[in-house]
Amino acid sequence: MDFRLSEDQEALRDGVRSFCEGRVPVEMLRELEQKPGLDRALWSELAEMGVFGLRLSEDDGGVGLGMADAAVVFAELGRRLVPGPLAWSHLAAGLVEGAAQGSAVVGGLDLLGVLGGPHLVEHLESLDALLVLRPEGVFRIDPAHLEARTVAVPLDPLTPVHHVTRLPEGELVGTVEEARRLRLEGGALASAMLLGIAEATQELATEYAKGREQFGRPIGGFQSVKHMLADMFVRQEGAGAAVYAAGATLDDPGVGDVMRAVSAAKATAGEGALRNALACIQVHGGMGYTWEVPAHYYLKRSWVLENVFGTVGEHEERIAEILAAST
Amino acid sequence: MDLRYSDADEKFRQELRAWLAEAVPAHGAPPPYSDWEARRAHDTGWQRKLFDAGYAGINWPSAYGGRDASLTEQLVYYEEIARAQAPYIGVNFVGMLHGGPTLIAEGTDLQKEQHIPRILRGEEVWCQGFSEPGAGSDLASLQTRAERDGDHYLVSGHKIWTSFAQCADFCELLVRTNPDAPKHKGISWLVMPMDLDGIEIRPLPTLMGEGEFSEVFLENVRVPVENRVGEENDGWRVTNVTLRFERGTAFASEMYHLQQILAGMVELARRITRDDATAWEDRTLRREVGHLAAQLDALWAMVKLSVSETAKTGVPGLGASAIKLFYSGVYQQVGELGMRLLGRAALSREDVAGLPCQRTIGRAMQSLSLTIAAGTSQIQRNIIGERILGLPREPR
């Protein structure tokens, strides 16, 4: 056992991080929110880096890595708020032609688990294919065949949504087992992005608290603020351990219960991201309530990711069921 | 990012599990809290059995009689000890987790020879004389004086929160040997025999009403100078060596054991009825249990990560503060959950109507010490804020 990131994983993390820092800076998010539609050039570059084909075997044109590696990559994408149906396109690699290469942008709708209200689909106008997870299996739907209404004001300015009013049956492309597997893996990927948000908001708030002075000293020197930041760090550490444990367990199911590990990751990282994003706004004071400071993007993305592949509450209940079954 | 135990780890687990399966039931139930003589016999008797079976000092160097187990074997050890509900380390805590490791790192050959084998065999019990009424979180402001009188120190002062004082043979004692130096620079670390003249022990009952710790009054106690560990006035550095061991894996078994405690709560919830349904049929309660279970899984993964890091760097990292904050917080939430499950049965600390009141209430109350002892949660947050996040330091 060595639970630390391997040297390869550290290199992978550093590579994706420096790409995101150069290619998706905060200024770019502001530009992206002005113009609708996905940045296809960015999407191709992400594909070239292996974001979508990461777990596809090398024979199939992928990189041949595992879920733990994918968690490392998606934590970085989450940290930089990279927009787009990242998790779905990653899951679609090998299932939808062109997904791994970035030539096909694939989105999805998860109808397994507890249904959370109306059918809202993210990034619909940019999609080449839509995957739907149903109790009967995985279905592929041509986005042109949907009846949907654009939501004029989405919660997350970087996640446009459509309200789908008629969802055709589509073409069965995967078994019930595959649908369940995709949902588990999607949960792990979403957890990783939430982890990235938990880390980024802690760092953003800490930097601000070091520079912002009141009463003649940095506000980070006041225990009331310092302790909030310490709690943010603790949440980030707990989320990190849970997310990487889920990745490692998906790669080697012999070391634990895969369902429980993914649920623990989604619950812990979901709460960590949301609470850290809220605390980040609070630490920024009045500026935290403005559009100008990027703290609100993180909060809104946390809420978006909370509502994919099972909410915190749903996963908590699932863990309780697993626990009850074993006592 | 590999969570798989090696074949050697699993073989170690099987041997240990088989041994515990016989040894734990044979050792019997712990005696009442108030009976110090019986508690000492129970806890040191278990230590002796660990020693005879080759499991004492799991992380101690083999040169000092320890097992010198690899860090992953230590993790296996903590998991199995918890799983088998083996006796708690109890009165051996200070000797095994503070005094012994400190002597190994800093003691003279004579000090090691005198104490290490006896601690390991359960023949010697230690207590802790660090805190004072005026020196809690600000430990370095301690005032207990030690004046040189030939080859002895004359020690006078007042210590508090001293666990196991009633049954201890030795005390790890912090004293001020230079009152004129800055507070961190005038402290020395002594081994004080508890049978010397001038030591008075006054029990200080906890909020549970039990005699866990005491106040210790010292009046002109003559401690030999050769009992000093480290140089005179270098005791603050030695103290940090001592506390480093506590920050490592000292509470790992308790962390793992929490998973079993939570499983017990599930069982309880399925037995307790509210109106016409069991407590378990309440979705809010199930989610709360699921939330705590997720936190506990995250906690154990944090421990594994910390152990993996320690295996490479040799020293427990600062992340231990995050683990302690996380652990103590979750433990208290589990404790509160138990109180709510008991409902009106919680009015009784004795078991009533077949409900485990004594154990459940005991845990809820005992858990309150976790955010106070071994560095309060506020101090842990300062450590994280300053040493990890680099925020401005508190006055010292």
pLDDT at A35: 81
Contacts of B305 in chain A (CB under 8 A): 3-4, 240-241, 244
pTM of the model: 0.96
Nearest to A248 among B1, B263, B267 (CB): B1
Task: Tell me whether residues B294 and A316 touch, CB distance under 8 A.
Answer: yes
Give pLDDT tens digits for B177-204. 999 999 999 999 999 999 999 999 999 9
Least confident of B56-65, B142-151, B244-253, B304-313: B244-253
Q: Quote the CA–CA distance of B83 and A227 in Å, as a whole number.
A: 35
Same fold for the domain at B7-88 and the one at B248-388?
A: no
pLDDT at A26: 86
Cβ-based neighbour number of residue A55 at 10 Å:
22
The DSSP symbol for B387 reads I
Nearest to B239 by CA among B91, B129, B382: B129
Portion of chain B with pLDDT greater than 90, in percent: 87
Task: Tell me whether residues A221 and B391 touch, CB distance under 8 A.
Answer: yes
Kindly list the domain boundaries of chain B, sorted by start residue.
7-88, 126-231, 248-388
Nearest to B143 by CA among B130, B162, B152: B130
Does B62 contact A at CB distance below 8 Å? no
Q: Exposed (0-12), middle (13-18) or buried (19+): which is B62, by Cβ within 10 Å?
A: exposed
A178-325: what fold? Butyryl-CoA Dehydrogenase, subunit A; domain 3 (1.20.140)
* Mean pLDDT (10-residue bins), chain A, 327 residues: 94 97 90 87 96 95 95 98 97 96 97 82 97 97 95 96 95 97 98 98 98 97 98 98 98 96 98 98 97 96 96 96 92
Does A323 contact B at CB distance below 8 Å? yes
Regarding predicted confidence, which is higher, B250 or A326?
A: A326
pLDDT at B250: 75
pLDDT at B396: 76
pLDDT at B395: 81
Distances (CA, A) of B121 to A125, B26, B46: 73, 19, 9
Determine which one of B106, B172, B246, B288 is catalytic. B246
H/E element, B214: strand B213-224
Contact B326, B295 (CB under 8 A): yes
Average pLDDT, chain B: 94
Instruction: Give the contacts of B266 (CB within 8 A, at least 6 positions apart).
Output: A320, A323, A324, A327, B280, B289
B309 as an active site residue: the answer is no
pLDDT at B316: 67
Give pLDDT tens digits for B292-311. 999 999 999 999 999 888 88
Residues 132-161 of A with CB under 8 A from B: none
Nearest to B72 among A1, A68, A321 (CB): A1
Nearest to B285 by CA among B274, B297, B298: B274
> Per CATH, the architecture of B248-388 is what?
Up-down Bundle (1.20)
Task: Tell me whether residues B385 and A227 touch, CB distance under 8 A.
Answer: yes
Contacts of B302 in chain A (CB under 8 A): 237-238, 241
Cα–Cα–Cα angle for A262, A265, A268, nearest 5°?
150
pLDDT band at B248 (very low <50, low <70, confident <90, very high): low
Nearest to B3 among A206, A245, A264 (CB): A245
- What chain A residue is nearest to B386 in terms of C-alpha separation? A226
Domain covering B7-88 in this structure, CATH number: 1.10.540.10
Helices (H), chain A: 7-23, 26-34, 40-49, 67-79, 86-92, 176-211, 223-251, 258-283, 295-306, 312-325
pLDDT at A37: 84
pLDDT at B94: 95
Mean pLDDT of B216-229: 98
**Complex confidence, ipTM:** 0.95
Cβ-based neighbour number of residue B336 at 10 Å:
13
B126-231: what fold? Butyryl-CoA Dehydrogenase, subunit A; domain 2 (2.40.110)
